[in-house]
């Protein structure tokens, strides 16, 4: 096929995929090509602008490694992660809503018992977290695997601290037979997503800030139920309505209650102020 011009090139590219053996891949790439070409036409993309775009994507590739996932940050800050999450998690009313996964989950977080301190030395004010895991009919879900992770008071996840491989402020525990769980951690604080790379430059160029409202990540799995990936956000946070990655749902905002030194919910005599958080999760049944 020769002599393609700006009016004929889109269909020519699509024709080249006519016999793609993977039909789903063909559907996805067909739509992607159509939208990419339509976008270039709509903004009348110049050669200099596209070169800049290629440089931007190249920089994203260069900064990405097993600890820094700039492609996820790009997807998150453009709202694509939350869009995909929302489409994949249409649930009946009453089920806990899902939100973005983020780049800071690790597979091999330490196992804890209910009541343990998952902070493991992470910097922050103590926080006692408790709650329950239930099914859509209110049935207790015992033995659910609860993975929790959060940033420290300085706004960093353990994996962002260079030269320290210890797992802090993250762990895995199980709900008890009555569906309840409780553990100790630290108070979540707002933090900026990593913004010292190309995505940070993009946010600045667009007049946007990189902050996420304070939150605690949860991933909960139990046989017979859909996996739930979500956060609990801290009520009153100044960034709840401008989350850099568009992840806030009102149903996930909870009160972190602050207490002066004294008796904690687990009976510990605290010498310093501490907080408590209570949140009940409702899993959707697996289909
Ligand atoms: C997070 O909440 O861990 C997160 C989500 C998206 C981008 C960066 C961080
Ligand atoms: Fe986070």
* pLDDT (tens digit per residue) in 28-42: 999 999 999 999 999
190-223 pLDDT, tens digit per residue, is 999 999 999 999 999 999 999 999 999 999 999 9
Q: How far apart are CA 129 and CA 181, in angstroms?
A: 8
Q: What is the reported pTM? A: 0.93
Q: How many residues does the chain have?
A: 287
Tell me the three-class secondary structure of 174-240, residue by residue. Answer: ECCCCCEEEEEEECCCCEECCCCCHHHHHHHHCCCCCEECCEEEEEEECCCECCEEEEEEECCCCCC
pLDDT at 272: 95
Token pair belonging to 266:
């687990």
pLDDT at 244: 98
118-157 pLDDT, tens digit per residue, is 999 999 999 999 999 999 999 999 999 999 999 999 999 9
Q: Whose CA is nearest to atom 9 of ligand 1?
A: 102
The ligand 1 atom nearest the CA atom of 73: 7
Mean pLDDT of all residues belonging to the chain: 96
Q: Whose CA is nearest to atom 2 of ligand 1?
A: 102
From ligand 2's centre to the CA of 182, what distance in Å?
A: 20
């Amino acid at each position: 096929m020769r002599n393609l011009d700006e009016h004929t090139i889109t269909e020519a590219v699509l024709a080249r995929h006519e016999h793609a053996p993977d039909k789903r891949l063909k559907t996805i790439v067909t739509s992607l090509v159509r939208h990419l070409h339509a976008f270039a036409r709509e903004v009348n993309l110049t050669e200099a602008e596209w070169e800049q775009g290629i440089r931007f994507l190249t920089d994203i590739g260069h900064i990405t490694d097993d600890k820094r996932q700039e492609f996820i940050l790009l997807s998150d800050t453009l709202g694509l992660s939350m869009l995909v999450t929302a489409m994949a998690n249409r649930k009946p009313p009453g089920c806990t809503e899902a939100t973005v996964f983020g780049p800071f989950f690790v597979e091999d977080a330490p196992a804890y018992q209910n009541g343990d301190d998952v902070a493991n030395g992470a910097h922050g004010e103590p926080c006692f977290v408790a709650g329950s895991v239930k099914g859509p009919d209110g049935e207790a879900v015992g033995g659910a695997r609860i993975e929790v992770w959060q940033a420290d008071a300085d706004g960093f996840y353990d994996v962002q601290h260079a030269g320290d491989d210890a797992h802090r402020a993250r762990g895995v525990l199980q709900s008890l037979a009555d569906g309840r769980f409780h553990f100790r951690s630290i108070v979540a604080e707002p933090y900026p997503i990593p913004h010292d790379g190309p995505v940070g430059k993009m946010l600045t160029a667009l007049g946007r800030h990189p902050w996420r409202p304070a939150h605690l990540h949860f991933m909960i799995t139990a046989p017979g139920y859909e996996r739930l990936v979500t956060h609990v956000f801290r009520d009153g946070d100044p960034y709840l309505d401008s989350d850099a990655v568009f992840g806030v749902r009102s149903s996930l905002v909870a009160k972190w209650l602050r207490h002066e030194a004294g008796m904690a919910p687990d009976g510990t005599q605290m010498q310093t102020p501490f907080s408590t958080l209570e949140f009940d999760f409702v899993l959707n049944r697996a289909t």
